[in-house]
Amino acid sequence: MERPQSVSRPYDESVEEGAASPWATINRSVQEFPTGQPTDALPPRSLSGDSSTSSLRIQSPGGETGGEEQEFILETRLARGGFGEVWRATQTALRRTIAIKRLRADRLTPNPDSETDHTLQVESAFYYEALITANLSHPNIAPIHDLGTDRGGRMLLAMKLVEGELWSERIRNDLVRLGVRDFLSMHVQTLADVAQAVHFAHSRGVVHRDLKPSQVIVGNYGEVQLMDWGLALVHDETAATKHLPRLMEEPNVPTRRNGMNPGGTPAYMAPEQTDSHCDRIGPHTDVFLLGSILYLLLTGHAPYADKDMTTSLNRAAAAQYTPLQEYKGERYLPPELVHLCTVSMNPEPNHRPSSAADFHKALTDYLRDSGRKWDSVQFTAQVRRTLERDDVRINDLEICDSLLGNAEGLWRENPDIEPLRKIVAATYAAMTTVEDATLAAAILRATRLHDNQLRSYLILHIERVYASMRRRKAFFTELIVAGVILFIALGIVMVRELMKLTSG
């Protein structure tokens, strides 16, 4: 098949996961281009040369074999998007089940109402997506087995069949089904696997540019596969030439020099993806997209999930997303994940984590310590609920002090421990009685505070309260003694008077 020549770049204006949308170029009129899922949308490439792909013998369901042995037999269509379709198929030579991805025939038919023929655009995108993916050999990137055309000249590629579901669907279901702790434990691990695949691609000089949950398949046995490299381009030609020399022999492989922009899904895009050129595109772009996915895991929606595409694009250009701090009242947000998400989505590329490897390490550090930290947070939450009650007693405060000790043992840096300790100490001081044991306990708790000024104030306050209580106790003791003496004196006087009356 002769490779297509010059083409132009479409733009993915999808604003929400899985939303069907037309293609358009930013700040220009919408092109007359078929609508479809963002994951099936194919970017353009400019191709030249005389080489052609091989013709593969393929049998459609119910089709005639023509007396020839078929290389692939299509069985069941698994998915159909705006431009492509994916089939379950059998590779006859190896007797194995694979996936066949091919362009839809109806999308390759020129539109009589359009002045632009997008056939070359779609075919070139399909061609370079296959080449780039095939040259990235990693456990979290689905391998490509073959690329060619059927007898009708329609491009197709044979690839590994991953039995599972889209990560976006699993997220949608688990947000309702799981608690926050279990949800984050499961899906942060998936994000870490994606980050590993992305870091590998970066080491080969390639950036993905369209990372989002609907680009990931989670297999039935937990395997994670990053799919759809249709917007990928070479950001580091030196690294790509070293590690992917055969790919770089292609005369028009997409790079930052000849790649076209804008490109991506507006709901997740980094600011540099909204530029009209690719000069600022690099690994930091994918780091931003990884942060955008983390934002979705923490909040339940994408950073720029607006129904209006223009609004999403404008917000993406300035990285104007709702700060995570505004969601803390709705659900527990682990501080380390909030920090990682915030720095990764910094509008300035130089202020983001330096690599996808650093992003991956931050996630694995969180997963390693998440159990202990979660238990620590639960202890401080229990203390907070106790202190909010109206009937708090001394015994409750002693339990609170013990719980805070447990929380500190599990996670010393828990930011809630110290503020709660101050409240416990202040409440204890206010409830101090004249009992020596209570006074000693109150002073002991106050001495544990790290704030020197507050510690000194509380100890002085406790001592003053105790002294005041002692003075009141002494006063009442003296008053009682005086009353007893007065009563005795009055009794003596009365007895004497009675004796006088009797003797008289």
CA distance 24 to 266: 12
pLDDT at position 460 is: 73
| pLDDT-derived band at 114, boundaries 50, 70, 90 | low
CA distance 56 to 144: 15
pLDDT at position 118 is: 66
pLDDT tens digits along 177-202: 888 888 988 899 999 999 999 999 99
CATH 1.10.510.10: which residues of the chain? 38-354
pLDDT at position 367 is: 86
pLDDT: is 277 or 116 the higher one?
A: 277
Three-state secondary structure of 424-458: HHHHHHHCCCCCHHHHHHHHHHHHCCCCHHHHHHH
> Tokens 């006859």 — which residue?
92
Radius of gyration of the chain from Cα atoms? 36
pLDDT tens digits along 360-386: 999 998 888 777 777 888 888 888 888
Token pair listed for 105:
């025939």
Question: Left (φ > 0), alpha (ψ -120 to 50) or beta: where does 16 sit?
Answer: beta
> DSSP assignment, residue 154?
-
Tell me the CB-side half-sphere exposure of residue 193, using CA atoms within 13 A.
Answer: 21
Mean pLDDT within 51-55: 45
CATH 1.20.58: which residues of the chain? 370-461
Mean pLDDT within 400-409: 85
Is 504's pLDDT higher than 70? no
CA distance 447 to 3: 78
Token pair listed for 58:
């393929």
CATH code that applies to domain 38-354: 1.10.510.10
pLDDT at position 43 is: 33
Mean pLDDT within 34-43: 30
Question: Measuring CA to CA, which residue among 82, 85, 86 is closest to residue 42?
Answer: 82
Is 275's pLDDT higher than 60? yes
Side by side, which strands form the sheet with 96-103?
Answer: 54-55, 144-149, 155-159, 96-103, 84-91, 72-80, 58-59
Three-state secondary structure of 319-384: CCCCCHHHHCCCCCCCHHHHHHHHHHCCCCHHHCCCCHHHHHHHHHHHHHHHHHHHHHHHHHHHHH
* Dihedral pair phi/psi, residue 209, rounded to 5°: 80, -5
CA distance 159 to 136: 13
Class of the CATH domain delimited by 370-461? mainly alpha
Buried b (16+ CB within 10 A) or exposed e, 142-171: bebbbbbbbeeebbbbbbebbebebbbbbb
pLDDT tens digits along 121-175: 778 778 888 889 999 999 999 899 888 887 777 888 899 998 888 999 999 999 8
* Mean pLDDT over each residue of the chain, to the nearest integer: 77
Contact 398, 441 (CB under 8 A): yes
> DSSP assignment, residue 235?
S
SS3 254: coil
To 10 degrees, what angle do helices 417-430 and 394-410 make?
A: 160
Q: Please tell me the pTM assigned to this model.
A: 0.68
Q: Name the amino acid, one letter, at 253.
A: V
Token pair listed for 483:
């009353």
